[in-house]
Amino acid sequence: METCGRCLNTPPAWDNLVCLGDYTFPYDTLLHKFKYQGHYWFAKPLARLLAENIDDPAPCLIPVPMHWRRRWVRGFNHSTVLANALASQLERPCLDKALVRTRATQQQQGLSRKARLSNLKDAFNIHGDLPSHVALVDDVVTTGATLTELCRLLKAHGVIKIDIYALCRTPTDGKQKK
């Protein structure tokens, strides 16, 4: 598994990140349709591709939660749809009620890393007991602010190892290649 220079200098809050690749063509186009145009049926083939990259799956998968108002507007939580498809591929349970977004926050897109972290402070809560090893499932890892806040909360509640299963990450060189 590759480790970027930024991660070597400032390790992330999670233990492993598995993704298909950078948020560039064709993934950016597919994910935009999946997330914003309701193409939820993309979840199964994308989950199948992602599952091929996961060597030692976590005992359970947890989708990144969406506030109920945003889910109502969008019609579905894309992370939950993806997590369920991936859990099926990996033959693991999906604990889609384990994390809850307790307050509506400003949309992260367009915010700086510092603003994203501040925006998410105390925005999540845990329901129930969790095993010591879990995987968070999301579509894209941008600055990692949402995942960092979730990891902080999970570790405060006794989770020891956290994997991230995401479809894409922003390119490490900061460029969007087509």
CATH number at residue 46: 3.40.50
What integer pLDDT is reported at residue 9 of this predicted model?
60
Evaluate whether residue 44 is within a structural domain: yes
pLDDT digits (tens, 9 = 90+) for 137-148: 999 998 898 999
What integer pLDDT is reported at residue 111 of this predicted model?
73
Evaluate whether residue 15 is within a structural domain: no
Q: How many domains does the chain have?
A: 1
Evaluate whether residue 8 is within a structural domain: no
Evaluate whether residue 45 is within a structural domain: yes
Range of the domain at 66: 23-169
Evaluate whether residue 12 is within a structural domain: no
Asked, as a colleague might, if the bond just before 171 is cis with ω within 30 of 0, I would say no
- Rounded to two decimals, what is the model's pTM? 0.88
Evaluate whether residue 33 is within a structural domain: yes
Evaluate whether residue 5 is within a structural domain: no
Q: Residue 28's beta-bridge partner residues?
A: none
Q: CA 27, CA 78: separation in Å to the nearest integer?
A: 15
